[in-house]
Chain A
Amino acid sequence: MLKITKPSHGAEIDQLQSELLSAVRVSDDEIEAAASNPQLYDRVRLRIAAERERRDVVRSLRGRGWMDVFQSMFGPARSTRWILTAASVMLIVAAGLLFWMSRQARVVDLQSRATPPSQPPVVQPTPKDEATPQPPKERVAPLVVQRGATPEMVTVSAPKQIKKRSRSIVPSDEGSGEIATDFIPLTFTADVTASESGHLVRVRMPRSALVAMGLPMNAERASEFVRADVFYGDDGLARSIRFIQ
């Protein structure tokens, strides 16, 4: 049945196809009318001009690439090249100098911060202290005080903080091998940093005394002694204390 219907079906489609394609054919008159348009060549010239202009723009843009920069640098204008080179070198040197100076300033600032601003004048240790037999070495937890702070602002005894600020521990006497903490202000009225003169006395004190200063103390070792430098002002009042290890 398919064999019967398909040829007629296909023939109809072929007929439609040929008629469809012939429908889009145009007559010679139409072709001649379009081809003999007097403005056609003018339009072609306009299109050529537009395309030429576009290509010129593209060419000029391409021409200003790296090759032109290279030629201007190493071409006939050599004075320009040297000026640019010298300016570049000077710029690099200036930048390096600025960086080095800022780095130096930062180092000086850090060093000045590490040194106590009002280091009490060191007095000779008393003969009694020298004669005193040294107790067995103890590990003294470094104590940290904010510099220039009033006594109310003293922060002590947080073990974590102590460990963190242990870097501020500095040798108390050069060559003695001692390590001292920063001075901890003891007075509630005077600013320790404002003191100009006074006396420094090295003492041995029981650990239990640390509690009076708000410092942490191990109760099991309360009977042990620790060494400390106490700074007395001219008025005879103890202003600050530092612990020695």
Chain B
Amino acid sequence: MEQWTDISGFATAAALELITHEAVDDELVAAVRAGDESAFEVLFERHRRSVTRLAYRFFYRRDQVEDIVQESFANAYFALGAYRGGQERSFIAWLSRITVRACYDALRRSRRVESVMSELSDEEERSLADKLRFSGKGSDVESLAISRDLADKLLRRLDPDDRVVLSLLNVAELSVAETAEITGWSVSKVKMRSHRARKSLQRVLHRFV
């Protein structure tokens, strides 16, 4: 079951799901369409770990992640009419696309709102540089939380598209094909975006070197 929820094994999970759970998921979707609300709860219980894990690739705060999970399942509920299922695409792949879209929208919103507040002060920049250089040496909870916060502030300087690609390729460790599948972009666009995102991140990090 854990293999299902591991987004890093997204393709494997999707393939396995086609074999074992495809009919069940599709049946549950059909039941929800027919008005059976309890079927949606079963779908939620089955896939909420996958969605939560995927949301954590983009956000590190729990309240943000829970908000993404809620939005993803709510959007999925109203989009069930457009779900085709069958051999073309499994339910988890379809749901992952909805989740990534929700994360992307949230990133764009947060970038607009927090563009000023997320600026790093000089002290924070020094702290971030030290923590990045000596990462792993102090693994206490406070240090980890501070590192995440500073890293998140740094990543917010990137374009949401770059952030999505970096999160999926480097944090979730998906392949280019999986990233293309989950974002709905072409493979070439994912590669191009990945290159640009790395360059952008290098420019951001250049001041710490």
Contacts and interface: CB of A to CB of B under 8 A. Distances in A.
Interface in A36-73: 37, 40-41, 43-44, 47-48, 51, 55
B15 interface: no
Nearest to A14: B202
Interface string B58-75: 001010011001110110
B56 interface: yes
B42 to A, nearest CB: 11
A51 B78 CA distance: 9
Interface of B is mostly: helix
A31 B41 contact: no
Interface of A is mostly: helix
A112 to B, nearest CB: 74
Contact of B66 (A16, A20, A23, A37): A37
A77 interface: no
A37 B68 CA distance: 14
B196 to A, nearest CB: 14
Nearest to B170: A21
Interface stretch (B18-26, B91-99, B115-123, B147-155): B147-155
Contacts of A9: 209
A19 to B, nearest CB: 5
A17 B151 CA distance: 10
B52 interface: yes
Contact of B70 (A19, A32, A47): A47
A188 B190 CA distance: 106
Given A13-B205, A20-B154, A24-B151, A43 B70 contact: yes
A48 B155 contact: no
Contacts of A13: 202, 205-206, 209
Interface in B166-209: 166, 170-171, 198, 201-202, 205-206, 208-209
Nearest to B136: A19
Nearest to A52: B78
B49 A44 contact: no
Interface pairs A-B: 6 shortest CB-CB: A35-B52, A23-B151, A47-B74, A35-B49, A23-B147, A44-B73
6 contacts: A16-B209, A24-B152, A34-B52, A37-B66, A43-B70, A48-B78
Interface of B: 41, 44-45, 48-49, 51-53, 56, 60, 62, 65-66, 69-71, 73-74, 77-78, 131-132, 135, 144, 147-148, 150-152, 154-155, 166, 170-171, 198, 201-202, 205-206, 208-209
